[in-house]
Structure 1
Amino acid sequence: MGNTEYEIQQRFEVQVPPTKPFFHTLKSSLKETFFPDDPFKQFKNQPISRKFLLGLQYFVPILEWAPRYTFELFKADFIAGITIASLAVPQGISYAGLASLPPVMGLYSSFVPPLIYAMLGSSKDLAVGTVAVPSLLITSMLGKEVNPHQNTKLYVQLVLATTFFAGVFQAALGLLRLGFIVDFLSHATIVGFMGGAATVVCLQQLKGILGLVHFTHGADLVSVIKSVFTQIHMWRWESGVLGCCFLFFLFITRYFSRRKPVFFWISALAPLTSVILGSLLVYFTHAEKHGVEIIGHLKRGLNPPSLSELETSFGSTHLMTAIKTGIITGVIALAEGIAVGRSFAIFKSYHIDGNKEMIAIGMMNIAGSCTSCYLTTGPFSRTAVNFNAGCKTAVSNIVMATAVMITLLFLTPLFYYTPIVVLSAIIMAAMITLIDYEAAIHLWAVDKFDFVVCISAYVGVVFGSVETGLVIAVAISLLRILLFVARPKTSVMGSISNSTTYRSIEQYPKANSVPGILILHINAPVYFANASYLRERISRWIDEEEDKLKYSAKNDLQYVILDMSAVGNIDTSGISMLEELKKTIDRRCIKLVLANPGGEVMKKLDKSKFIDTVGQEWIYLTVGEAVDACNFMLQTCKPKTKAVESEAADDKV
């Protein structure tokens, strides 16, 4: 026994880290949660004037890079800006129609918000503008309360209020460093939601393609199909033929640009070309007299102020609906804008600040709500064109806004004869790319649960509503997180041949179990939500191991080693679970051994006196050390027999 004690004392004991004051720990946790990027490090040891300048540059990034801006950069940004302006004009008009708003509001929304973003945004590639999914959300949620065609003034006021509250919510998330909330929209959720919304948008464009006057306000598949096929006698073949021709043209140009990336501009200019060709065709053939609906008069001039309309909406009985719509559309717009910005930042090897992006997107929507704009963000299609056109900085947004300004001042009469069917074709062509079936197939191959989340979001949007699909997908994602926390993975470990490494026997079937020793790996923090489950699961592992040893006539189980390398933290419920577990296996004459507990776990085990209960000598740095010590004890001490166990049990009784 003396040798045993000597051998055990030779190991390096697991240390308990020094205890820090509670408020110091709380401050550290809050800092890591809200300020993981440590934005204040640049202000340290700086004079007041320098801190003021750095603060301005932090909140207004254009002040940082503008002094270094060159004419060479401007040439690249000018070309990119003109290119995305050719896409912004037809898309702006189209998406405003999708939101049941006057078409000119789509142009207004491509003028003021891009200027605000150019000053406050941290992305060099993001091209700001209206997007389809938030437009659909706005019309589907607000349209239930106020008919946009019968009470247009009130509807527009509520849309402005929605945009304002979306901007306030977005900016607040950035200022309060709460950007991690957006991360609850998983990749699978976004794929399914976007695909479902795109499907619904495409179906709703059948109104324009078929030239229907009356159409359902519902956003679900059943309502749309019913509305289409109960009005077969109202279909206009002229409009249908025109729509199919322009759809074919848009798809052909996109296919060609994808096959030959150097000709990306052909696909980028295709929507504007469609508008021009469609307008000329209607003008020369007088197709508007034969069932082809046109835009009509567009108000000339820059954005009129809308503070009075916004103030009036605050007194509306529908204000709560506007707030709810603003929050939901704000989250969706943030998720899309930040995801798109980060995706293109990777290509150019630079970093964008998610919280700065939230502030920038929020401020541009607040400013937009005061200048007759509705919700904007950074759409993928426009940003991709901006990136491919060779943009260098956010000045491309300023160039685009200038081009839209010129359009508003001088060119709006040219859109009088633009056929609605062409706008419907532009929307359909853009939306079909959002139905990412390849991503869904990839989810099925990699993670079936993520595929279920994706399909649930898609089905919820298509057969229910946009809000229903979003709620279902988020609820299933949160349920998955709860399942991971409440039912953590545990596994039996064995030794890899000719090594001191121990791994899961399930993953490595050839790993060797150690006679008389059960090694269990706990793969999650131990909290109140999973403590009871872990106690029961570990007890079942012990029962199964004892039954297996009984039938194999091998040595009885004498040691249970818990590998706690993945247990990042533990609460009082987890400590109580360990205490109960130790009492249970003590009654079965089995010794509990801990391996590699982390610093936070050791501090709490020390404060709760559990280390004294289990014994410091039975806590090891690695599983290998724990196994060696247990094997040494098995070889040195007299093996436990059934008779000894029975006698020990009688003594306890």
Structure 2
Amino acid sequence: MTEGTDNRAQTPKPSGALAKAFPAYAWLRGYDREDLSKDFTAALIITVMLVPQSMAYAMLAGLPPIYGLYASIVPTIVYALFGTSRHMPVGPPALMALLTLTSVSALARSGTEEYIGLVLLLALTVGVVQLAIGLLGMGFITNFISRPVLSGFIYASAVIILLSQVKHLLGISLPEGTSMPALVAEIWRSIGETNPIALALAVFGFATILVLARVAPRLPGSLIAVAASTLAVFLFALDGRVDIVGEVPRGLPDLSLPVLDVEAIRALLPAALVVAFVGFIESISVAKAVAARERYKIDSNAELRALGLANVAAAFSSGFPVAGSFSRTAVQYQSGGRTQAASIMTALMVVATILFLTPLFYYLPNAALAAVIAVAVYGLLDFKEVRRAFRTRRADGLALLITFAVTLLVGVEQGIIAGAAFALLAFVRRTAYPNTTELGYVESEDAFLGLRSYPEAKTYPEALIVRFDARLYFANIPFLEEWLISAVADRSRLKWIVLDCRGVNGIDLTAIEGLENLVSKYRATDIEVLLTHVKLQVRKPLEAAGWNEKFEGSMRYPTTRDALRNIGLLDEREARATHNGPRPDTPNPPASPTYPQNLGD
């Protein structure tokens, strides 16, 4: 995204219950004529982009195209009034459409009255889940879906979406509800039945959108491709030879009442949880990206509440699950939109489209809408992210691949669960077996650093200096004990074990008891254990457990250098403490330009 034209950093922040309950107050109270002109321009551009996209995404969701327009009215206005992002429009993005299709198609045939009723029930369930999490202030739970897991899910979703549109791109018939391998096999078997006219319209749509995006990015490529394809079908009387949208109902959507069937809700609930979390994560990522540039705050729990209300509104206005859209947010921001008034104007323009322009959609070919979907979804495939995940941490790369494979081969809910479970297990394993290293004195750095990074570091036969780089808790205290047993085994002259705790940010009761057992065991063999660089959040629980009474003096030395100096192991040069490092009771010690912050290993 490029920088917008308006920086509101200096805008005073509203306060009080009204501003908290009704975030739109923040921009409404200072709204002026310049805002109006900017927002109107942005709304006009977004509407031109939104109309073909929303109809295409409704088709992707297994619904009549008009439902995409319905989902772009009331939910958009509701979020505009209750959301904390000033730039993000809410509507039906491709990912929500895919999740809707995969969630409901297992229960009913797409396009039927039963299917539409279940889609409305799904939107209501998603809205209630998001609203409940937001009201309880539990937005943090979405953080348990890591970026690699989300990326793997998005890549698999992009592939699923592309494969689901092959039938429209080629003009062939494919069975619904088949697995991905079976679908690929069916596409291969049916490729000889390709409709050349549908394929030509699809290729024309691809070419138009991609060429205009390169040579004239300000022009609405999707709208031009759809309009030209529709005109071609009309002029050459192709409506009998390719699938078209056909009759589109004119007028506003009726009030829809989801059927509250307990069995249906139970069947939809797992999918609704996935849709709720993925929709929120997608939305909050987009909202925060723009808010960071414009220097205003996004409230995660308020965003959950606003999205929840928007999805509830979708359920009662013939829509389907909605979320924030990255592409439309980028366009609205780049085109100068300043507030959510742009989203409200967009919704009103969609209303005008439904009231007066629906006859123009009759000859719109499905192949053209499929091309719009395919081009939009292709942008989700960022192969650099895969390489970056593996380069950064192998476990992250594996989480991405597992999520991708399970989503593609089994299902979207299972993919998210499998990826999140693997990432969580990898995290638990990492904390259960943390980096633990022996330290030695490095004269050139005048510091105690890890031997794996500094093999030339000086060690002391009488003392073993150990740095443990993790919070001490019930799962990793046995690992520390095993590590020390191995390290102490061949040190006949050992008298001291110095635990450098600068990497320990917390400790639980099990770890305290395990540490007490360690100290008692080594004291029984005439080996003293000293704890240095003990932070306040570690020292206080130890003191509360009576540590000072049981092991007097074990925490008396603030730094490793102090400990070695006082037990007489440092020579005169090493004992000169020019770089003692941060004090252990400093919660977040500042980095010093003279003290090495990279401690090795």
Q: Same fold (TM over 0.5)?
A: yes
In 2, are the aligned partners of 1:142 and 1:321 still within 8 Å (CA)? no
Encode CA deviations 1:79-123: one digit per residue, 9 max, x unaligned.
Answer: 111111111111111111111112111000111111111111111
Deviation at 1:182, TM superposition (A): 0.8
The residue number in structure 1 matching 2:238 is 287
In 2, are the aligned partners of 1:56 and 1:63 still within 8 Å (CA)? yes
Deviation at 1:633, TM superposition (A): 9.5
Distance in 2 separating the partners of 1:629 and 1:618: 13
Provide runs of 4+ in structure 1 moved above 4 Å. 632-635
The residue number in structure 1 matching 2:106 is 144
Q: Residue 503 of structure 1 aligns to a residue in which SS? A: strand
Distance in 1 separating the partners of 2:338 and 2:91: 18
| Aligned partner of 1:130 among 74, 89, 92 | 92
The residue number in structure 1 matching 2:5 is none
The residue number in structure 2 matching 1:204 is 164
The residue number in structure 2 matching 1:621 is 558
Q: Residue 225 of structure 2 aligns to a residue in which SS? A: helix
Aligned 1:158-557 pairs, distance under 5 A: 158-218=118-178, 220-256=179-215, 264-266=217-219, 269-290=220-241, 292-307=242-257, 310=258, 313-315=259-261, 317-498=263-444, 500-543=446-489, 546=491, 556-557=493-494
The residue number in structure 1 matching 2:72 is 110
Letter in 1 for 2:544: K
Letter in 1 for 2:204: C
Encode CA deviations 1:5-61: one digit per residue, 9 max, x unaligned.
Answer: xxxxxxxxxxxxxxxxxxxxxxxxxxxxxxxxxxxxx99xxxxxx9xx711111211
Letter in 1 for 2:353: T
The residue number in structure 1 matching 2:586 is none
Deviation at 1:420, TM superposition (A): 0.1
Unpaired segments ≥5 residues, structure 1:
1-41, 44-49, 257-262, 551-555, 636-653
Distance in 2 separating the partners of 1:633 and 1:400: 73
Deviation at 1:507, TM superposition (A): 3.1
Distance in 1 separating the partners of 2:516 and 2:20: 51
Matched, 1:83 2:45: yes
In 2, are the aligned partners of 1:111 and 1:402 still within 8 Å (CA)? yes
Encode CA deviations 1:396-426: one digit per residue, 9 max, x unaligned.
Answer: 1011111101001111111011000000000
In 2, are the aligned partners of 1:520 and 1:560 still within 8 Å (CA)? yes
Letter in 1 for 2:65: P
Matched, 1:153 2:113: yes
Distance in 2 separating the partners of 1:509 and 1:397: 61
Encode CA deviations 1:178-220: one digit per residue, 9 max, x unaligned.
Answer: 11111111111111110110011011110101112343323x4
Distance in 1 separating the partners of 2:350 and 2:32: 24
Q: Residue 317 of structure 1 aligns to a residue in which SS? A: helix
Query: CA 1:346/1:594 → structure 2, altered by over 3 Å: closer, same or farther?
Result: same
Deviation at 1:303, TM superposition (A): 2.1
In 2, are the aligned partners of 1:192 and 1:455 still within 8 Å (CA)? yes
Encode CA deviations 1:369-398: one digit per residue, 9 max, x unaligned.
Answer: 111111111111111111211211111101
Distance in 1 separating the partners of 2:25 and 2:551: 61
Distance in 2 separating the partners of 1:214 and 1:586: 74
Deviation at 1:512, TM superposition (A): 2.7
Letter in 1 for 2:196: W
In 2, are the aligned partners of 1:592 and 1:614 still within 8 Å (CA)? no
Letter in 2 for 1:187: R
Report the TM-score, using the length of structure 1 for normalisation. 0.82
Matched, 1:567 2:527: no
Deviation at 1:504, TM superposition (A): 2.0
Q: Residue 561 of structure 1 aligns to a residue in which SS? A: strand
In 2, are the aligned partners of 1:492 and 1:519 still within 8 Å (CA)? yes
Deviation at 1:498, TM superposition (A): 5.0
Letter in 2 for 1:231: S
Encode CA deviations 1:303-360: one digit per residue, 9 max, x unaligned.
Answer: 21012xx1xx212632212222222111110010001111122222322111111111
In 2, are the aligned partners of 1:87 and 1:271 still within 8 Å (CA)? yes
* RMSD between aligned residues: 2.1
| Aligned partner of 1:97 among 39, 51, 59 | 59
In 2, are the aligned partners of 1:104 and 1:299 still within 8 Å (CA)? yes
In 2, are the aligned partners of 1:188 and 1:450 still within 8 Å (CA)? yes
Distance in 1 separating the partners of 2:254 and 2:246: 20
Deviation at 1:515, TM superposition (A): 4.2
Letter in 2 for 1:302: L
Aligned 1:49-88 pairs, distance under 5 A: 54-88=16-50
Q: Residue 318 of structure 1 aligns to a residue in which SS? A: helix
Query: CA 1:633/1:332 → structure 2, altered by over 3 Å: closer, same or farther?
Result: closer
Unpaired segments ≥5 residues, structure 2:
1-11, 573-601
Distance in 2 separating the partners of 1:94 and 1:413: 17
Q: How many residues align?
A: 561
The residue number in structure 2 matching 1:611 is 548
Q: Residue 16 of structure 2 aligns to a residue in which SS? A: helix
Deviation at 1:606, TM superposition (A): 2.1
Distance in 1 separating the partners of 2:559 and 2:78: 56
Distance in 2 separating the partners of 1:188 and 1:321: 28
Distance in 2 separating the partners of 1:560 and 1:634: 19
Of structures 1 and 2, the larger Rg is shown by 1
Letter in 2 for 1:176: L
Letter in 2 for 1:461: T
In 1, are the aligned partners of 2:174 and 2:187 still within 8 Å (CA)? no
Q: Residue 172 of structure 2 aligns to a residue in which SS? A: coil
Letter in 1 for 2:172: L
Encode CA deviations 1:563-586: one digit per residue, 9 max, x unaligned.
Answer: 122222222211221122113222
In 2, are the aligned partners of 1:341 and 1:352 still within 8 Å (CA)? yes
The residue number in structure 1 matching 2:513 is 576
Distance in 2 separating the partners of 1:490 and 1:374: 51
Deviation at 1:295, TM superposition (A): 0.2
In 2, are the aligned partners of 1:222 and 1:463 still within 8 Å (CA)? yes
Deviation at 1:617, TM superposition (A): 5.9
Letter in 1 for 2:51: V
Distance in 2 separating the partners of 1:445 and 1:601: 33
Distance in 2 separating the partners of 1:273 and 1:182: 38
Deviation at 1:537, TM superposition (A): 1.6
Distance in 1 separating the partners of 2:190 and 2:446: 75
Distance in 1 separating the partners of 2:494 and 2:430: 30
Deviation at 1:499, TM superposition (A): 5.3
Distance in 2 separating the partners of 1:633 and 1:395: 70
Encode CA deviations 1:509-533: one digit per residue, 9 max, x unaligned.
Answer: 4433234221111112211122222
Sequence identity of aligned pairs in percent? Answer: 28
In 1, are the aligned partners of 2:287 and 2:298 still within 8 Å (CA)? yes
Greater helix proportion? 1
Distance in 2 separating the partners of 1:336 and 1:580: 48
Q: Residue 288 of structure 1 aligns to a residue in which SS? A: coil
Distance in 1 separating the partners of 2:440 and 2:388: 33
Q: Residue 435 of structure 1 aligns to a residue in which SS? A: coil
